[in-house]
Amino acid sequence: MSSMVSRPPAADSSRALAHFESLLEFETDCWDVNHAITNDRKDFVLLDVRSEENYKKGHIEGAISLPYARITEDSLKEYSLDTLFVVYCAGPHCNATEKAAIRLAKLGRPVKKMIGGITGWRDEGFSLTEEDS
């Protein structure tokens, strides 16, 4: 008797490899972002694509507040066309990262999603920075 897990057969290894390797073209995780930041290896621009109000309540140190609806060619003019943007929002329950990534991709900009967002960041034990009022 098979379970709901094994009833649909797993993909063969070559398809699984292609699938999981391709995921890394589109996403990164909180640990890798934190490691890059804390080891002075940040070769990307980290965008907090939530509202400015939520950004002020707490964000990842070094992140730039750019709500997804404000991502335009004009708002990105200070960055070279090959700048990699890493976007994050509140967490798995929020799709602002996808909205931001779509906007960036339509503008021809390299982009990755930080999976987990603020929820994942906190789950990893990393702290947030608040804006001074």
Answer yes or no: is 74 within a domain: yes
107 found inside a domain: yes
94 noted as active-site residue:
no
Beta-bridged to residue 28, according to DSSP, are 114
- Could you tell me if residue 10 is inside a domain? no
What CATH code is carried by the domain that includes residue 41? 3.40.250.10
Q: What is the mean pLDDT of residues 53-80?
A: 97
Give the pLDDT confidence of 5-44 residue by residue, as tens digits. Answer: 999 999 999 999 999 999 999 999 999 999 999 999 999 9
Q: What is the CA radius of gyration of the chain?
A: 17
Domain count, the chain: 1
Position 76 in a domain: yes
Helix boundaries (H) for 1-133: 13-26, 30-38, 52-57, 96-106, 117-123
Q: Which domain holds residue 63?
A: 26-123
> Which residue of the set 47, 76, 89, 111 is catalytic?
89
Residue 16, pLDDT score:
97
Residue 59 and residue 129 in contact, taking contact as beta carbons nearer than 8 Å: yes
Q: Per-residue pLDDT for 133 more than 80?
A: no
Residue 113 lies in a domain: yes
This model's pTM is above 0.85 = yes
Examine residue 65 and state whether it is found in any structural domain, yes or no: yes
Tell me the percentage of the chain whose pLDDT exceeds 90.
95
What integer is the mean pLDDT of 82-106? 97
Mean pLDDT for 59-77 is: 98
Q: What is the pLDDT of residue 131?
A: 78
User: Over pLDDT 70: what percentage of the chain?
Assistant: 98
- Go through 60-90 and write b for each residue having 16 or more CB atoms within 10 A of its CB, e for each that does not: beebebbbbeebeeeebeeeeeeeebbbbbb
